[in-house]
Amino acid sequence: MNDAVTDPVVRLTNVTRSFAQGGVTIDVLRGVNLAVNPGEIVALLGPSGSGKSTMLQAIGLLEGGFGGRIEIAGIDASKLGKDQRAAVRRDHIGFVYQFHHLLPDFNALENVVLPQLITGKPRVECEERAKELLGALGLGQRLEHRPSKLSGGEQQRVAVARALANRPRLVLADEPTGNLDEATADVVLGQFLSLVRGEGSAALVATHNERLARQMDRVVRLHDGVLA
């Protein structure tokens, strides 16, 4: 059997992160260990301020200062330089944030096309992929709308399509429905989970909502800087 197929998409080994504040050292992550397997959707549960976002930043290779070992798609990212980390993010990771962060001067289709163009794909191929994803999210009639002309739920669905545009091995979602009302959040999360499963990606979804977390394959809890 090919180990690359069965190995975890992400593996954290004794990951730590500390911050100095007012002469005091604050340990946010204290020896975190986690493995997420291909196609698995894991809820990262914890109250606000528990370190969920810090943990996602570690996995997303968005900043330095972390101790321990971080492996993404079998790559030991702990020892990579800035450009190499950027390449791992581009090739293997998609991001969905609490706020959509769409480019306001570009329409829905263009927002999903742009991250694909960065990888050097032909524009026609990028547009086909964007239409496929946006159509699956119920936005086939909203392709030409800029973010300001979309509802909050529609904006977040465009952000989901953008995160999946380059077929990432791993999707990191940080409170992806946190800015939506409950009914809209349920719809968007359901579409997100369905699309991620259909794409075969793994996902780690940070949330403080127990009800939403139960819809995922597995729940891990961050408490006092360690996972339970």
In a domain, 14, yes or no: no
Q: What is the pLDDT of residue 204?
A: 95
Total domains in the fold of the chain: 1
How would you write the chain as a 3-class SS string?
CCHHHHCCCEEEEEEEEEEEECCEEEEEEEEEEEEECCCCEEEEECCCCCCHHHHHHHHCCCCCCEEEEEEECCEEHHHCCHHHHHHHHHHHEEEECCCCCCCCCCCHHHHHHHHHHCCCCCHHHHHHHHHHHHHHCCCCCCCCCCHHHCCHHHHHHHHHHHHHCCCCCEEEEECCCCCCCHHHHHHHHHHHHHHHHHHCCEEEEEECCHHHHCCCCEEEEEECCEEC
User: Would you place residue 188 in the very low, low, confident or very high pLDDT band (cuts 50, 70, 90)?
Assistant: confident
Q: What is the pLDDT of residue 98?
A: 76
User: Would you place residue 99 in the very low, low, confident or very high pLDDT band (cuts 50, 70, 90)?
Assistant: confident
In a domain, 86, yes or no: no
Mean pLDDT across 140-151: 93
In a domain, 202, yes or no: yes
Mean pLDDT across 88-115: 90
Range of the domain at 195: 38-66+91-227
Mean pLDDT of the chain: 88
In the predicted structure, residue 1 carries a pLDDT above the cut 70: no
Mean pLDDT across 19-29: 78
Q: What is the pLDDT of residue 161?
A: 94
